[in-house]
């Protein structure tokens, strides 16, 4: 894999950050964007509005040509989850059948109630994996130390790709639990909205620690019901990503919860954003999955009530704090 050609599909903040990081480590990388006019702007200015303060190297390839996808050895998919199905239909005939596809987007597909890897498995025969971990895009692009979990059902393939993608500023650990890693990455976005509400309502550090801990229990219960391994919750993709996302308003989902807590409407918050906040759509899918699998998930239910049923934040907080389980571990 020494000279493998890596195509990163999706020129948003995370895709761009991965491209910059891997390029700076000496990998053969092309950042692929679906909008030709945006790609022209990136090539000219070497600046991305999605990633302020980060310079795109002048010798890093940026493209919107379908032909560049057809010569890829490894594909990293960083397109927002709810926009992926349409783009995959357009691109699948150009994707080499031998190229492993690594899903880097976090969320659950509204129509299918599945992680994004399921969409690829229905359309392609390629090996499908997922990369997820506690990674803020700007820090990865600036080569600050970071790490992630890379999961493929074929663990040997995961190990080989992890060795190829890692470098001194970005550690990559191999795993076999694709569904667990993907569910953890999706569901933590719902918890992050709750964390933002805790911050915005100034409920304190004790409350935030309580939220993160209980959210991790919910995520593990729901992921396990869908076939995930329980220990995946202990990984970088599990508790690591949850801790990072719920601890800073740099997270799009946490900042959304913070803004809600300060009185802004969901419609106004989303209208003002260029980046996609995946936790909003994921909250609906997670609520439906928890209900259908009879999983106790009060935090997920609370976020669904606030985002989709218009329940007030104060009433929701009061309801959660008023309920009490008899024992912590079940």
Bridge partners of 101?
A: 75, 128
Cα pseudo-dihedral 84, 185, 272, 261, rounded to 10? 150
The CA–CA distances, whole Å, from 91 to 4, 70, 108 equal: 20, 9, 20
User: How far from the centroid of its chain's Cα atoms is residue 241's Cα?
Assistant: 9
Choose the catalytic residue: 188, 262, 284, 294. 188
Is 188 noted as a catalytic residue in this protein?
yes
What is the DSSP code string of 180-249?
A: HHHHHHHHHHHHHHHHHHHHHTT--HHHHHHHHHHHHHHHHHHHHHTT--GGGGGSIIIIIHHHHHTT-T
SS3 content of the chain, % helix, strand, coil (to 5): 55, 15, 35
Q: Counting every residue, how long is the chain?
A: 330
| Tokens, residue 250 | 């740099």
Catalytic residues: 188
């Amino acid at each position: 894999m020494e000279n493998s050609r890596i195509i990163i599909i999706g020129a948003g903040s995370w895709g761009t950050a991965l491209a910059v990081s891997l390029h700076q480590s000496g990998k053969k990388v092309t950042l692929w964007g679906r909008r030709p006019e945006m790609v022209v702007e990136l090539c000219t200015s070497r600046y991305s509005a999605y990633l302020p303060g980060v310079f795109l190297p002048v010798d890093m390839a940026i493209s919107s040509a379908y032909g560049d996808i057809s010569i890829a050895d490894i594909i990293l998919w960083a397109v927002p989850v709810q926009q992926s199905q349409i783009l995959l239909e357009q691109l699948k005939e150009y994707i080499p059948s031998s190229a492993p596809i690594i899903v880097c987007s976090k969320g659950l597909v509204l129509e299918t109630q599945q992680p994004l890897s399921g969409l690829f498995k229905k359309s392609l025969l390629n090996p499908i994996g997922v990369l997820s971990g506690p990674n803020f895009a700007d820090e990865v692009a600036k080569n600050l130390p970071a790490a992630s979990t890379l999961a493929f059902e074929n663990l040997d393939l995961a190990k080989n790709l992890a060795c190829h993608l890692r470098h001194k500023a970005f550690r990559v650990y191999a795993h076999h639990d694709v569904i667990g890693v993907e569910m953890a990455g999706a569901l933590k976005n719902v918890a992050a909205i709750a964390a933002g509400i805790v911050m915005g309502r100034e409920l304190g550090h004790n409350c935030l620690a309580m939220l993160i801990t209980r959210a991790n229990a919910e995520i593990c219960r729901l992921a396990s019901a869908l076939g995930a391994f329980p220990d995946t919750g202990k990984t970088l993709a599990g508790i690591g990503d949850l801790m990072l996302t719920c601890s800073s308003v740099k997270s799009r989902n946490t900042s959304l919860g913070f803004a809600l807590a300060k009185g802004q409407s969901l419609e106004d918050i989303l209208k003002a954003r260029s980046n996609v906040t995946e936790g909003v759509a994921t909250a609906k899918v997670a609520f439906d999955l928890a209900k259908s699998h009879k999983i106790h998930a009060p935090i997920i239910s609370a976020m669904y009530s606030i985002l989709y049923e218009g329940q007030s934040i104060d009433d929701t907080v009061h309801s959660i704090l008023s309920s009490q389980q008899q024992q912590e571990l079940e």
